[in-house]
Copies of this chain bind each other. A is one copy, B any other.
Amino acid sequence: MPNKITVLTGDYIGPEIMAAGLRVLEAVSKAGHFEYEATTMPFGGHAIDECGEPLPQRTIDECKNSDAVLLSAIGGPKWDAAPKRPEQGLLAIRQALNLFANIRPTEISPAMMQYSPLKKIEPVNFVIVRELTSGIYFGTPREQHADYALDTMRYTKAEIERVSRVAFQMAQHRNHRVTLVDKSNVLATSKFWRVVVDEVAKDYPDVELNYSYVDAASMKIISSPEQFDVILTENLFGDILSDEAAQITGSLGTIPSMSTGDQKPVLYEPIHGSAPDIAGQGIANPFSMINSVKMMLAHSFDRADLAERIGKAVDQVVADNIVTPDLGGKYGTKEVTDAVIKNL
């Protein structure tokens, strides 16, 4: 059985960086004898244009039939007034594929420190495990009336347990620390998270569990990000904190993420948006997509060797300062990608 990858190319700069990622995938696969089958399906803004909706059923079917999904940035002003917006496709695909854990590395390596907006930092290396298919994003009732509106933040024990296990297992392969971020001095759901996570923690005696309120965590991400190993948090807090965390690296254009459930496929995507302002200029940073490919090879296909080759090639290209304008360079997407491929 070939390794199956579904490709969702995205909007605006989406296809530009996807092309870069696929070129690197092709090159490293040839060199490393990795066989795969990649199928492109409609998703996001251009799926609205083509099929009238951001996530057509046949795209779901194809994804479910794959080992991994490579997704590029979607959405943009073109669909601002559309009856269905591209972002609804994002929420829908998370639910359809049961991708309940979103995993975002936040890394500031010595080589990348120059890009960080923070004055002085020690190397930073933590991951945020964000619950992705529940909480206030999906809870009901959700109502908008003439004179009031409401949303519901709801979590079941099972939903908290399964994402917590992802976090604890990650910590076992890292520095053995999980920080649960919540607002348990106010919210009932947060108090419940503490109860459930405390229980789960008993199964991982080699992992230390500590706690932070979300407001305090938003400060620590700036003041002492080096203290974190694995941050575990619910959907909305994870949305805010993971973007804040990305910003302290100063290199959003390089960061991949993965979203996983308890069966295939796992979805890989850059964390940044579709950057309509630079679309079509050939200057989008391909590293986030190349790093998504790298993550995919390591996690979905057990090819740490190929992931390492990509990682080393990217490091070399950064060291050679062959980078796009967002990282202060003067090179285009294609030149940077060529350089990565040459260094593989």
A residues neighboring B (CB under 8 Å): 85, 87, 91, 116-119, 136-137, 139, 142-144, 146-158, 183, 185-189, 191-192, 214-216, 218-219, 221-223, 236-237, 239-244, 246-248, 252
CA distance A152 to B244 in the complex (A): 25
**Chain B: which residue is nearest A120 at the CB level?**
B117
Whether the pair A189, B222 counts as a contact (CB closer than 8 A) is: no
Q: What is the copy number of this chain in the assembly?
A: 2
Majority secondary structure, A binding face? helix
**Chain B: which residue is nearest A185 at the CB level?**
B87
Whether the pair A152, B150 counts as a contact (CB closer than 8 A) is: yes
Give every chain B residue within 8 A of A237 (Cβ-Cβ): 240
Residue among B148, B215, B216 making CB contact with A154, cutoff 8 Å? B148
Known contacts A117-B222, A136-B186, A151-B152, then 19 further A-B pairs from the complex at CB < 8 Å, ordered by chain A residue: A85-B185, A139-B150, A143-B188, A144-B192, A147-B157, A147-B158, A148-B155, A148-B157, A150-B152, A151-B188, A151-B189, A152-B152, A214-B240, A215-B242, A216-B243, A218-B243, A219-B247, A219-B252, A221-B244
Residue among B91, B156, B183, B188 making CB contact with A236, cutoff 8 Å? B183
Whether the pair B219, A239 counts as a contact (CB closer than 8 A) is: no
A149 and B246 contact, Cβ closer than 8 Å, known pairs A215-B240, A239-B215 = no
Residue among B118, B191, B240 making CB contact with A117, cutoff 8 Å? B118
Whether the pair B155, A149 counts as a contact (CB closer than 8 A) is: yes
Give every chain B residue within 8 A of A87 (Cβ-Cβ): 185-186
